[in-house]
Amino acid sequence: MNEDTVDFLKQLRCTWSSWKENIAIGGMIGCKNDCYTPSEGLSLQDAYDFHSWQLNKLADGGVDFLIAESLPAVPEATGIAQAMSKTAKPYIISFVINRDGKILDGNTLESAFHEIDSACDPAPTGYMINCSYPSFLNVDKQPGSIFSRLIGFIANASSLDQSELDRATTLKADDISDWGNRMIELNKKYGVKILGGCCGTNREHLKYIVQNLNKN
């Protein structure tokens, strides 16, 4: 199934004529258990053993890169990163953070980046954050060193935290301009290159970024 999916995406990419050279196919995985419950995260070794099979299938299928998203705990993220490092594919690790700017298991982004970089050869191409509102990053309280490794933010539409969203019975979203301006600031002021939408976002969120990114 993994290899068939990659093959389908390759065929789809070919329909984009000359633009196809700009399209990269990523093989994405998540944590084994609930991405909002860090206590359910796997140990480093268990994560390596559990995720290696699928990562190898995706790599063998010919993805251009690998990415693990919505990771709530550093040990499982480290095991995933080590498994990815064995595939010869570039790879990205993406965490869920809370309002305090920390990963859900309480680790800081700085310590997580350092731990994974030190444990993997090669290290990740970079790190991302997803399934979190852009204000959660608390940029003024983060050490500047993280921004040399933080390459992307795929943001939720709502500033409610994960526990609040998990109980929601209707779609939650803040004002698009607030969302978009915060995302643009991450790019312009802090050099975060990959901007995108996660839970609750739609084309209007991405449209706002495109239309306003290069305005003075």
Chain segment 68-77, per-residue pLDDT in tens: 999 999 999 9
- Of the chain, the end-to-end C-alpha distance in Å amounts to 47
Chain segment 137-147, per-residue pLDDT in tens: 999 999 999 99
Say if CB 153 and CB 134 are below 8 A apart: yes
Q: Is the pLDDT of residue 216 over 80?
A: no
Q: Is the pLDDT of residue 169 over 90?
A: no
In this predicted structure, what is the pLDDT of residue 43? 98
Mean pLDDT of 136-164: 96
Length reported for the chain: 216
In this predicted structure, what is the pLDDT of residue 166? 80
Beta pairing partners, 197: 155
Contacts of 22 (CB under 8 A, 6+ apart): none
In this predicted structure, what is the pLDDT of residue 162? 84
DSSP 186: H
Q: Is the pLDDT of residue 12 over 80?
A: yes
Say if CB 2 and CB 28 are below 8 A apart: no
Task: Tell me how far the alpha carbon of residue 195 is from its chain's centroid.
Answer: 10
Q: How many CB atoms lie within 10 A of CB 125?
A: 17
Mean pLDDT of 13-28: 94
pLDDT interval class at 89 (50, 70, 90): very high
Phi and psi, residue 68, nearest 5°: -115, 125
Domains of the chain: 2-6+26-212 (3.20.20.330)
Give the separation between CA 78 and CA 48, rounded to whole angstroms. 8
Say if CB 132 and CB 96 are below 8 A apart: yes
In this predicted structure, what is the pLDDT of residue 77? 99
The model carries a pTM of: 0.96
The two structure tokens encoding residue 85: 């490092």
Handedness of CA 6, 72, 92, 172 (dihedral sign): positive
In this predicted structure, what is the pLDDT of residue 32? 98
